[in-house]
Chain A
Amino acid sequence: TQLLEQSPQFLSIQEGENLTVYCNSSSVFSSLQWYRQEPGEGPVLLVTVVTGGEVKKLKRLTFQFGDARKDSSLHITAAQPGDTGLYLCAGVYLGSSNTGKLIFGQGTTLQVKP
């Protein structure tokens, strides 16, 4: 079974704090994407990581792809109330069929209190 374990699933922090969300699997990904979703809307793509060890930054967000391409992390520095939302990691497994379908983690609901 292809599983992408995302943790934590719920996180409530104060404005200004830092946080990290993790996605882990026992399988290798050809690529991994991070999305942010607000209630009643579709997920919005934040970043795609492809190369093992890759680090990408998007303002206060830092995304890292593990060297073995089995795990990824999202780190938010100095979180703000506007960062509140559902964060989803999703990956294309290297051994999957040629459809390129995404496998999603369970999601992390982040609440940043002012």
Chain B
Amino acid sequence: GAVVSQHPSRVICKSGTSVKIECRSLDFQATTMFWYRQFPKKSLMLMATSNEGSKATYEQGVEKDKFLINHASLTLSTLTVTSAHPEDSSFYICSARVQTSGRALSSYEQYFGPGTRLTVT
């Protein structure tokens, strides 16, 4: 399967600072990437859809000025958590959409990165 990497895997920052998380597709190009947030023993919550060369689409309730997304190339999307607070502490996961065959939605699969554990103190 396709490989997606994330960096860093863990980060601890002080309240009020900003943190950037990188998501890379290693062996394929991804015009669309997704950013998720996950709480302990819970499912994934979609935060935003990142499209190469255009503005990200945010889910309802997600502050776009707080969670800045940049998809500057076909292999890299970044998520910047600005002015982080302890309640932003979470496991952040990205995924990249891969087209398997054809053009229908059913011909796409998503592959996930290993996640980034953010702790804000």
Q: Which residues of A contact B (CB under 8 A)?
A: 6, 30-31, 33, 35, 40-45, 48, 50, 86, 88, 90, 92, 94, 96, 98-102, 104-107, 109
The 4 closest A-B pairs by CB, nearest first: A42-B112, A31-B106, A107-B43, A30-B106
Residues on B with C-beta less than 8 A from A100 are 32, 97, 105, 108
In the complex, how many angstroms separate the beta carbon of B102 from the nearest chain A beta carbon? Answer: 10
In the complex, how many angstroms separate the beta carbon of B111 from the nearest chain A beta carbon? Answer: 6
Selected from A44, A86, A105, the residue in CB contact (under 8 A) with B112 is: A44
Number of residues from B at the complex interface, CB < 8 A: 30
Residues on A with C-beta less than 8 A from B61 are none
Give bound CA distance, A98 to B115, whole Å.
26
A-B contacts at CB below 8 angstroms, number: 71
Asked if B44 contacts A104 (CB within 8 A), the reply is: yes
Give bound CA distance, A106 to B41, whole Å.
10
Selected from A31, A44, A106, the residue in CB contact (under 8 A) with B43 is: A106
Identity of the chain A residue whose Cβ is nearest the Cβ of B10 in the assembled complex: A40
B93 proximal to A (CB < 8 A):
yes
Which B residues, 89 to 111, have Cβ-Cβ distances below 8 Å to chain A? 91, 93, 95, 97, 100, 104-106, 108-111
